[in-house]
Structure 1
Amino acid sequence: MRPTTVAIAGSGLAELTCAWLLAARGHRVRLRPRPAGGPRPLLLGDDTLALLHALWGTEAADGPAADSHRLTHRHARWTQDRDADPPLPQPAAVVDGARLARRLLARLADRYPDAVSEEPDPAGPPDPQARPDARVPPVPPDPTVPQWTVTATPPGRAGAYRTAGRRHLLAGEAPCAAGQDDTTARLERTDDAWLHLTPLGDGNALLQAMVPGPVGHPARHLGRLLAHSPLAARLAQAPATAVALPAAPRLHRAPATPPAGRTPGLLLVGAGAIRYDPLSGTGTAQALRTAVLAAAVIDSAAAGTPADRLCAHYTARLRTAFRDHLATCARLYPQAFPTPAWQHELDACRSG
């Protein structure tokens, strides 16, 4: 196998995990990290944490999520019956995604100092549509020039994604009411939304709400939803500020393109390739799986397997995962929202 040089454009969990796996297999990694943002709470189930530790060779006691806030149970009320679904044991951890990424980046640089370097990214990832003329003869690979780019932030292009719906996730933090349990995550539904409350372990909680479309005033809308939910009693007040983020499942139409001429191949990972509905609770695990598969594509191409066949396999795997996820959404959402407001979302899932 001839070592390959790979540009990692970004510093999310999927990008860094792919970089870690490639460096472990003897490839050269050129990191192009994005500017660090503020705190970003992530709720990771123990299955996802186990996958993260297995991929990075860490133990739970001293791993990247060692100082997380531990949750022990999950309470879901998804139907009209308020007595349904008592709290169930579901161990999980609330971690700061930005801090976790910094720790993984430091571990990567410490373990593979000769294989990993950092460089600026003035132009961003390559545009997968900007392919060279097919008549240009192949160019022998330059060991110092990346043959692949891996990123979760592809170039913006209208129609690049197949999106199943238009629902949005509203999110804001608020102080917990005195004496509230901070070890149980709670899911409640209202007539036209579901709400999720995640204790953060510092006296505050993250409140999220899924609504069937965009809203003009996220904090105001989130407050109205909270007022009609039993979760209101668990907070001292509604979130003062909130953001609204597109959250419908989506799949990039071309998540993998092979190298061609002087243009490196492009592999999209994480939410840049496939985004799950937050209701599933498996978005981070799926992002890590895309990192594993992307590393396998590059490793197999370096061993001589045709890159176009590998990219076709990568694309097919993601399409299958997307169809399966939409089938799950189409099964779950009608149980809670048989209302006209959600009809577009239900139809979008079923059409997948």
Structure 2
Amino acid sequence: MRGQGVAVATAAHLLDRAGFAFAREPGLRRPVPVIMLSDPALALLRDVFGKPALFADRPRIEHRVVKWGSAEAVAMPHGAVVVSEDDLAAALDPTGGCDPGQVQPRFTIEAMAPFSCGKTLRFGERISATARVTLKANAPARTCWIEAVDAGWLFLIPDGFGQAWLLAVGGNPQSLAHDAPLIGPLIDALEHTGGQFDTSPRMLAQLAGDNWLACGTAAIAFDPICGDGTAQAAREGILAAAVVGALASGEDPALLSTHYHSLLLASLRRHLQLSLPFYANGGAGRWWHEQYAAAKAGYEQTTALLARLPEPRFALHGFDLVRREQAA
């Protein structure tokens, strides 16, 4: 098992619980500064890891305010907790695993480069950056804000202690915040940003083979504009562990490889489909037109790729993969 993150931690936990021996090569990972875990994602992690009180003491987000395109700002209920990626990794750190010298690997779960498949399909180029923000005294502590501006969009996530993290997609945080009538006035001070990173949706051209599969954000990544990346990563880990279990029970490796790849391809296609209205309505400038065109091309490409694959032959029954005819 190579790499780290939620997908690997989930797979390792389930494999350890099922009695599989495995070795871990954690590698290096540049953590994101903050994660907003939605209540459904948190419930999934609590269920998988058997931790019903996971992050019960962390700052909560209870409202979301969105200003998108020409529409007025809209406030709506929201349920989430705010954690750092380091805290998330520590909470989910699996206790299982063996010394690499004690295991002769028959199957590899890959969550970091180099991958068995070297080709990546990329849908757009969305350069992003984060900045640490001090909020104005009157900014609600349990509200997050999302705003589209001419050259990109912003996501402001409070930490519950008077500060927040600002994600800027499409430009640097200072410039985008300057043009943001909703988010800009909430900021009292904005620190210099760190390095830039890519938030464009992408995936390896092949996500599984006879003796390997790939998971995690290095293998398949979603745009933060919609969906829940943490829940997606947990589901990848569940599916990865289930594939290993099905292999051990004698299922066909080629069928399992196709099933795993097609399910993750379908999840990215669905994500691209959901993101299309956001990029269609976020703004009228060149950047928005380019990102909409990239998302549309990605949706069409993943649709065509998925059409060439057979219908899924397996279904999850709890944390196990079974033939669909058995699950019916």
> Which of 58, 64, 76 matches 1:68?
58
| Counterpart for residue 151 of structure 1 | 110
Partners of 2:233 and 2:68 in 1: CA distance: 26
Q: 1:278 to 1:102 in 2, by over 3 A?
A: same
Name the Cα RMSD after superposition.
2.1
Deviates more, 1:246-255 or 1:174-183: 174-183
Partners of 1:162 and 1:308 in 2: CA distance: 22
- Cα shift at 1:35: 4.7
Partners of 2:100 and 2:140 in 1: CA distance: 45
Partners of 2:225 and 2:40 in 1: CA distance: 16
Kept after mapping to 2: 8 A contact 1:174/1:240: no
- Cα shift at 1:164: 0.7
| Counterpart for residue 250 of structure 1 | 202
- Cα shift at 1:338: 3.0
1:188 aligns with 2:139: no
Partners of 2:30 and 2:161 in 1: CA distance: 20
- Cα shift at 1:162: 0.7
| Counterpart for residue 227 of structure 1 | 178
Structure 1: which 5+ residue stretches go unaligned? 1-7, 121-142, 216-220, 259-264
- Cα shift at 1:67: 3.7
| Counterpart for residue 262 of structure 1 | none
Partners of 1:37 and 1:78 in 2: CA distance: 30
Q: Secondary structure at the match of 1:298?
A: helix
The one-letter amino acid paired with 1:206 is: W
1:171 aligns with 2:130: yes
> Which of 183, 193, 196 matches 1:241?
193
> Which of 83, 98, 118 matches 1:117?
98
Q: Secondary structure at the match of 1:194?
A: strand
Kept after mapping to 2: 8 A contact 1:151/1:272: no
Partners of 2:90 and 2:174 in 1: CA distance: 33
Once the two structures are superposed, residues 176-223 of structure 1 have per-residue CA deviations (whole angstroms, 9 ceiling, x without a partner) of 222321100100111221111000123211001111xxx6xxxxx321
Larger radius of gyration: 1
Partners of 1:320 and 1:158 in 2: CA distance: 19
Partners of 1:291 and 1:158 in 2: CA distance: 19
Partners of 2:48 and 2:233 in 1: CA distance: 13
Q: Secondary structure at the match of 1:243?
A: coil
Structure 2: which 5+ residue stretches go unaligned? 300-328
Partners of 1:310 and 1:271 in 2: CA distance: 21
Q: Secondary structure at the match of 1:209?
A: strand
Q: 1:289 to 1:158 in 2, by over 3 A?
A: closer
| Counterpart for residue 41 of structure 2 | 48
1:80 aligns with 2:70: yes
Amino-acid identity (%): 29
Once the two structures are superposed, residues 115-164 of structure 1 have per-residue CA deviations (whole angstroms, 9 ceiling, x without a partner) of x22549xxxxxxxxxxxxxxxxxxxxxx9301112132131699611111
Please list every run of at least 4 consecutive aligned residues from structure 1 whose deviation after the TM superposition is greater than 6 angstroms. Answer: 156-159
Partners of 1:159 and 1:9 in 2: CA distance: 15
| Counterpart for residue 248 of structure 2 | 302
Q: Give TM-score scaled by structure 1 length.
A: 0.79
Q: 1:185 to 1:284 in 2, by over 3 A?
A: same
- Cα shift at 1:270: 1.7
Q: 1:346 to 1:158 in 2, by over 3 A?
A: farther
Deviates more, 1:30-39 or 1:223-232: 30-39
| Counterpart for residue 270 of structure 1 | 216
Kept after mapping to 2: 8 A contact 1:152/1:269: yes
Partners of 1:172 and 1:350 in 2: CA distance: 30
Once the two structures are superposed, residues 247-284 of structure 1 have per-residue CA deviations (whole angstroms, 9 ceiling, x without a partner) of 111111111111xxxxxx22111212321110114111
Partners of 1:312 and 1:347 in 2: CA distance: 29
Kept after mapping to 1: 8 A contact 2:150/2:284: no
Question: Equivalences for 1:81-100 in 2 at 5 Å?
Answer: 81-82=71-72, 84-85=73-74, 87-100=75-88
Once the two structures are superposed, residues 90-110 of structure 1 have per-residue CA deviations (whole angstroms, 9 ceiling, x without a partner) of 1101111112212322xx32x
Partners of 2:267 and 2:249 in 1: CA distance: 26
Deviates more, 1:339-348 or 1:90-99: 339-348
Q: Give TM-score scaled by structure 2 length.
A: 0.84
Question: Equivalences for 1:253-332 in 2 at 5 Å?
Answer: 253-258=205-210, 265-332=211-278
- Cα shift at 1:57: 1.0
The one-letter amino acid paired with 1:197 is: L
Q: Secondary structure at the match of 2:183?
A: helix
Deviates more, 1:49-58 or 1:72-81: 72-81
Q: Secondary structure at the match of 1:196?
A: strand
| Counterpart for residue 209 of structure 1 | 168
1:33 aligns with 2:26: yes
1:338 aligns with 2:319: no
